[in-house]
């Protein structure tokens, strides 16, 4: 099978900006565009396939009707859920979602549930583990990761009485940083930051604090009870890391591969191409996002490859085999 290219879905947000035009040349819907759902089969932003055998299909439809494209990914996801004590009825949803986030203003202080809580309280949804590769950050920018409450009682008191200065932890953020955010971790991307996010296929976010701002004349919904339920106390730092859990380079990864994180939900790596390097795609599928430069991808045994450039997102299907990347570019790739 050929590479599977996808059309992005864009989301306008109260905190969004317009940088995706200049950075990636995207045709965004407005100057408050906060999110590009670049590889998504979620019902709230289902990407359409562009070109090739599956042209015009939604990614969710391809997942549901052509499991051969994704190898044994469905079974891997079922086995993982079963190991967590969760029995999935039928085929689980496509496991991953890739976004670009442009934060012109601060996002809400928020937290995500794990699979068990989301399955029980959010109509069978997956939980949300995510990781961030920082594409850009203005000088002096910080992000929120973690909190200072020592007990759940203190946590509830700090939230309910708005003791935000005592409660949240902020750390500096720079271009090229990488953060792994596990469920139960209080966090917030702040204004002046652009990231590429790899996450579980979930859209469940619990807002703890939103700075009192209004949308359409009304405060946005907060989720205080759910947040107190799922925030891990105390914050130890193991719930979030600027390095994640670095993995050893998989076989066929190539000399230009930098592993970023390996966890039970995904493997993420960065590829830095300066010339030519060869790889083997022997995983259930491989999501690729070109975040800098341009070049060409050519399958082993073929002479004519395809041009890929900054802003492109595509999937290499199961059984794709060997391929060469040539040019000057940087990619973030993920798999399960």
What is the distance between the alpha carbons of residues 231 and 55, in angstroms, rounded to a whole number? 42
CATH 2.60.120.10 holds for 257-335: yes
Rounded Cα distance between 229 and 248, Å, is 35
Spell out the per-residue pLDDT of the chain, length 336, in tens: 899 999 999 999 999 999 999 999 999 999 999 999 999 999 999 999 999 999 999 999 999 999 999 999 999 999 999 998 888 778 899 999 999 999 999 999 999 999 999 999 999 899 999 999 999 999 999 999 999 999 999 999 999 999 999 999 999 999 999 999 999 999 999 999 999 999 999 999 999 999 999 888 899 999 999 999 999 999 987 655 544 444 444 555 556 889 999 999 999 999 999 999 999 999 999 999 999 999 999 999 998 899 999 999 999 999 999 999 999 999 999 999
What residues does CATH 2.60.120.10 cover in the chain? 4-241, 257-335
Catalytic residues: 207
Instruction: Please answer whether residues 103 and 34 qualify as being in contact, where contact means their C-beta atoms are separated by less than 8 angstroms.
Output: yes
Query: Which CATH superfamily hosts domain 4-241?
Result: Jelly Rolls (2.60.120.10)
């Amino acid at each position: 099978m050929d590479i599977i290219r996808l059309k992005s879905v864009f989301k306008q947000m109260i905190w969004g900006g317009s940088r995706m035009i200049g950075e990636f040349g995207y045709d965004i819907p407005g100057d408050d565009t906060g999110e590009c759902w670049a590889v998504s089969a979620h019902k709230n932003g289902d990407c359409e396939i562009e070109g090739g055998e599956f042209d015009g299909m939604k990614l969710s439809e391809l997942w549901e009707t052509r499991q051969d494209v994704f190898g044994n990914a469905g079974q891997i996801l079922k086995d993982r859920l079963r190991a967590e004590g969760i029995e999935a009825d039928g085929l689980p949803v496509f496991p991953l979602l890739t976004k670009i986030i442009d934060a012109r203003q601060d996002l809400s202080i928020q937290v995500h549930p794990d699979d068990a809580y989301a399955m029980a309280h959010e109509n069978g949804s997956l939980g949300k583990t995510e990781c961030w590769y920082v594409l850009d950050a203005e000088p002096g920018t910080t992000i929120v990761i973690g909190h200072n409450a020592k007990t759940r009682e203190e946590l509830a008191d700090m939230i309910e009485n708005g003791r935000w200065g005592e409660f949240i932890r902020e750390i500096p953020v720079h271009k090229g940083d990488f953060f792994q955010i596990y469920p139960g971790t209080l966090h917030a991307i702040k204004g002046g930051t652009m990231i590429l996010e790899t996450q579980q296929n979930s859209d469940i976010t619990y807002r703890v604090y939103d700075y009192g701002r209004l949308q359409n004349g009304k405060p946005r919904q907060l989720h205080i009870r759910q947040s107190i339920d799922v925030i891990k106390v105390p914050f130890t730092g193991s719930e979030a890391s600027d390095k994640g859990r670095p993995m050893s380079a998989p076989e066929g990864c190539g000399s230009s591969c930098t592993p970023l994180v390996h966890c039970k939900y995904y493997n993420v790596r960065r590829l830095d191409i300066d010339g030519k390097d060869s790889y083997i795609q022997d995983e259930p599928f491989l999501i690729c996002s070109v975040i800098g430069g341009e070049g060409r991808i050519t399958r082993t045994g073929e002479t004519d490859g395809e041009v890929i450039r900054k802003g492109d997102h595509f999937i290499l299907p199961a059984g794709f085999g060997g391929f060469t990347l040539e040019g000057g570019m940087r990619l973030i790739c993920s798999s399960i």
